[in-house]
Amino acid sequence: MGQVHSHLTISPTSTKLAWMMHLRPCFNTAMHGTSAAFDLYFMLEQQDKRKPRGLVIGVDLKSMEPIKGAILLSNSDFTSSETREMIAKHLMGEKLNVVLSDMAPNSSGLRHLDHQIIVKLSFSVMKFSVQTLQKNGHMVCKLWDGNETNIVKETAQKFFKTVKIVKPEASRSDSAEIYVLCKDFLLDNE
């Protein structure tokens, strides 16, 4: 059985590139050197590393330039059922081993409102993860720290063995940006 890596991102280039550099050793693809933004990134690779095969699916609210070897769902909203159906079609029944979300709404400047919107996005990512991760899979989800951070963490703890709140070194110290790191999905979706 293959492994499928999922990456969900709407991010500033620096954060996106930091995640891509962190994950690059996992992905033996033609992504080297690209700075293309996309919301949803999948990679399917065989267990036999001598025979890599990959499936890359990118989803973004905006238009994207083509990336060799990738399926791009431009002008698509990850939260819509139509986009989820397109993703499922391309996955062909495979389960994911990583969901990485860097999605964030455009900031309104109203911290409390922005926090509520990103919490809603994080629950959307968590629901997607619960439906599509294989047992022992992982999820990383962007969040802006606020009064509902613990609710997101406590909900994730129902589905993952280990849940931590982390702040990457690349994130500005005055930024509310944090990530919910969830390891070892407890359910078996097979």
Catalytic residues: 142
DSSP letters spanning the chain: --EEEEEEE---HHHHHHHHHHHGGG--STTTT-----SEEEEEE-S-TTS----EEEE-SS-----TTEEEETT--TTSHHHHHHHHHHHTTPPEEEEEEE--PPP-S-HHHHHHHHHHHHHHHHHHHHHHEEEEEEEEEEEE-STTHHHHHHHHTTTEEEEEEE--TTS-TT--EEEEEEEEE-S---
**Do 104 and 118 contact (CB within 8 A), yes or no?**
yes
